[in-house]
A = this chain, B = another copy of it.
Amino acid sequence: MTEHSLWRFSRALHRAINDRHFEDIEALIDEDVEWAIYGPIDMFPFLGARQGKEAVLEVIHQLADNFRVRRFDRESIMLGVDSAASMLRYSLTALDSDKPISLRVAQFAQFRAGKLIGMRVLVDSFDLVEQALGRAIHLPRMTSVG
């Protein structure tokens, strides 16, 4: 049985981010890839939508410039023939501040011939913002619940 594309991609991505080894991931991204990490792009300019391999590799370089992955745990996972969805908990270090960031992430990936053609990532963005700021943002209670 062949290894699922997700495992190869995931290993290569973490190797790119942590070791700045980009060759493996370059070989696993389709030229016409569609990519989006939804989140506050004002704070993190490498979030948002990208199209094409070159733009996605630039994002991965920027992730490597800003973070290290200390650990990650997959809390949920579904694998299809050419697709994968997972919910993960990442423990990151923000390199500029050396601050730990703990982040929940949902990721939907689509592969073709072993290469990534689609990636949508949702993060618990408010949690990310508060951790990156290093302080809580005061929120009013917005609900009719007593």
CB of A126 within 8 A of CB of B40, answer yes
Residue-wise, chain A 91-132 has the 8 Å CB interface mask toward B (1 for contact) of 000111000000011101000000000001011111111001
- How many copies of this protein are present in the complex? 2
Q: Is the interface of A mostly helix, strand, loop or mixed?
A: mixed
Minimum Cβ distance to chain B for residue A75 (Å): 7
CB of A128 within 8 A of CB of B126, answer yes
The CA-CA distance from A106 to B80 in the complex, in Å, is: 17
Name the residue in A84, A137, A141 with the highest tally of chain B Cβ atoms < 10 Å from its Cβ.
A137
List residues of chain B with CB within 8 A of the CB of A75: 120
List residues of chain B with CB within 8 A of the CB of A83: 78
The CA-CA distance from A8 to B43 in the complex, in Å, is: 39
| Interface flag for A19 (CB, 8 Å) | no
CB of A106 within 8 A of CB of B122, answer yes
List residues of chain B with CB within 8 A of the CB of A125: 124-127
List residues of chain B with CB within 8 A of the CB of A87: 85, 106, 108, 120, 122
List residues of chain B with CB within 8 A of the CB of A126: 39-40, 125-126, 128-129
Interface residues of A (CB under 8 A from B): 38-40, 42-46, 62, 65-66, 75-76, 78, 80, 83-85, 87, 94-96, 104-106, 108, 120, 122-129, 132-133, 137, 139-145
Q: Could you name 10 residue pairs across A and B whose Cβ atoms are closer than 8 Å?
A: A43-B139, A43-B143, A62-B145, A66-B145, A78-B85, A87-B120, A106-B106, A123-B124, A126-B128, A133-B142
